[in-house]
């Protein structure tokens, strides 16, 4: 695990394998960002010229390595691009991404000093979090570990604010959120032959014990006794039976109660409605919602937020077999509603429905579910933006704003009443699990809304696009699991802790 510390040492005097500075695109060429002053002095004022000669332009994500001159104790200078120069300070997301690029680029180094803009508490947190996320590597199944290069061993963030209370809090928050996001990434990246509902529940139990959280695990027998038809219906085709996991954090002074519900399909073959080749190779990521809510509740506990947070992990494996649910089957969901299954590959909404009803029994102020739910949302918003739906516009807008504050891309989406009709026209059940083809992501949201208890504010985050990154790494985002929505949930919990009842 990468160590992180803050130092007030002068950049020139700190011994490190590499010293990271920020550069940006100015109207007349490269602009050095705050923090690079000592390095510029060591280059006798010619640093920008040297970097320009080497092809640097300051573009976001760009990196240029330069051997350190006499006057610097570091062996190497890494200039990382921040994008367009900003007189009033750089955007926090630009700092996160630059720190992430630097940490990934310098994999294998034992000690790296970060001389990026980091004078305010928000800037310190952004640089620290971006760097920690950038060190992430998943080498569990590789015989040579991470491909021969270990993550950076130690990160030293240079700032004059080291001893201040808000700076300490910023670093602590970055450590907690970064570690829990990387835990979520590990879960998403773990092969489905190793991560199934039972083993996921065991991981949650171990973390709950470590951090003093209350946990309850319902196995297949308890689910059958309780009437959780959605979870059982989805899990029937697998040799790995489903689980419903409740992980609860309570604060004695809390005035608000939040329930985070996560879709946890540890592998989604589509069931009898089998996915075609080319669409099932990454379906180990279909439990990213459960990983996100799990990381969020652990983060809330570690940060000591003055709010009650309960995570509900709806875990199942969707497989075809002689015992699998068939198209045309009718499931009696937890709470009594019946659902005609028209497509077994629309399974996420079935497990979530059970969990949403169960979460609602505890009368939280707000329920937020998180799920890699629909390909339709990816078609609408692309691979980096998640959709936000809610039964209250204010809640939807609050979550959209919270996502923006922490650097996650989201977009508010409607729940058009006319799309409900297709689901309610089943001749044999209360609802069908499919509706109109157009607007499929919105139809899925409307289905979930049917299971929210009256008087409870509810929101749905469809993270199908950003939960699993299949392209080349960028910023602090690796290839594979990303831990999408974790930061948004934590920020939302912080807001409710500060503002009381939701």
What is the set of active-site residues?
275, 349
Pairwise CA distance, residues 441 & 464, whole Å: 10
Distances (CA, A) of 188 to 218, 283, 300, 455: 22, 10, 20, 34
Sequence-distant (≥ 6) Cβ neighbours of residue 240 within 8 angstroms: 196, 197, 198, 266, 317
List residues bridging with 150 in a β-sheet.
none
Pairwise CA distance, residues 85 & 81, whole Å: 10
Residue 499: burial class (beta carbons within 10 Å; 0-12, 13-18, 19+) = exposed
Cα–Cα nearest to 113, from 35, 37, 18: 18
Strands in 395-470 per DSSP E: 410-412, 431-432, 457-462, 468-469
Measured in whole angstroms, the distance separating CA 243 from the mean position of its chain's CA atoms is 22
Pairwise CA distance, residues 38 & 76, whole Å: 14
Pairwise CA distance, residues 301 & 297, whole Å: 6
Pairwise CA distance, residues 84 & 26, whole Å: 6
> What residue spans of 191-314 are helical by DSSP H?
197-211, 220-226, 229-235, 288-303
Structure tokens at 310: 């309960």
Is the four-CA dihedral 475, 476, 481, 483 of positive or negative sign? negative
Is the four-CA dihedral 253, 494, 466, 185 of positive or negative sign? negative
* Number of residues in the chain: 502
């Amino acid at each position: 695990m990468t160590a992180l510390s803050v130092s007030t040492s002068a950049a020139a005097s700190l011994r490190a394998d590499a010293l990271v500075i920020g550069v940006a695109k100015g109207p007349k060429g490269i602009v050095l960002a705050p923090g690079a002053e000592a390095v510029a002095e060591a280059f006798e004022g010619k640093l920008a010229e040297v970097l320009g000669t080497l092809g640097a332009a300051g573009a976001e994500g760009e990196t240029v390595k330069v051997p350190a001159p006499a006057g610097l104790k570091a062996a190497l200078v890494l200039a990382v691009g921040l994008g367009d120069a900003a007189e009033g300070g750089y955007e926090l997301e630009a700092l996160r991404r630059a720190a992430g690029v630097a940490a990934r680029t310098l994999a294998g180094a034992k000690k790296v000093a970060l001389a990026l803009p980091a004078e305010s508490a928000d800037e310190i947190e952004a640089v620290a979090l971006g760097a920690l996320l950038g060190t992430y590597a998943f080498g569990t199944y590789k015989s040579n570990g991470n491909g021969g290069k270990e993550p950076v061993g130690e990160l030293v963030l240079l700032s004059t604010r080291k001893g201040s209370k808000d700076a300490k809090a910023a670093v602590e928050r970055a450590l907690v959120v970064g570690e829990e996001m990387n835990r979520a990434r590990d879960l998403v990246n773990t092969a489905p032959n190793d991560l199934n509902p039972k083993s996921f529940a065991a991981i949650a139990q171990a973390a709950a014990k470590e951090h003093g959280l209350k946990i309850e695990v319902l196995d297949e027998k308890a689910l059958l006794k309780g009437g959780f038809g959605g979870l059982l219906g989805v899990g029937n085709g697998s040799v790995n039976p489903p689980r419903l996991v409740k992980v609860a954090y309570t604060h004695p002074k809390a005035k608000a109660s939040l329930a985070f519900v996560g879709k946890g399909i540890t592998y989604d073959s589509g069931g009898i409605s089998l996915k075609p080749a080319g669409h099932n190779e990454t379906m180990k990521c279909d439990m990213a919602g459960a990983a996100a809510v799990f990381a969020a509740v652990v983060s809330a506990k570690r940060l000591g937020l003055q709010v009650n947070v309960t995570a509900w992990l709806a875990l199942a494996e969707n497989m075809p077999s002689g015992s699998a649910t068939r198209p045309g089957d009718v499931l009696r969901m937890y709470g009594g509603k019946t659902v005609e299954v028209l497509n077994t590959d629309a399974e996420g909404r079935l497990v979530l429905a059970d969990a949403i009803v169960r979460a609602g029994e505890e009368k939280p102020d707000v329920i937020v579910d998180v799920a890699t739910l629909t390909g339709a949302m990816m078609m609408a918003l692309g691979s980096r933006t998640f959709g936000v739906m809610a039964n209250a516009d204010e809640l939807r807008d609050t979550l959209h704003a919270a996502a923006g504050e922490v650097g996650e891309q989201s977009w508010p989406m409607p729940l058009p009443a006319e799309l409900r009709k297709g689901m309610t026209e089943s001749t044999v059940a209360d609802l069908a699990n499919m509706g109109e083809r157009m607007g499929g992501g919105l139809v899925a949201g409307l289905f979930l809304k049917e299971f929210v208890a009256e008087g409870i504010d509810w929101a749905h985050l469809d993270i199908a696009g950003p939960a699993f990154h299949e392209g080349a790494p960028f910023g602090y985002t690796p290839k594979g699991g990303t831990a999408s929505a974790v930061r948004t949930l934590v920020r939302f919990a912080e807001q409710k802790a500060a503002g009381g009842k939701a």
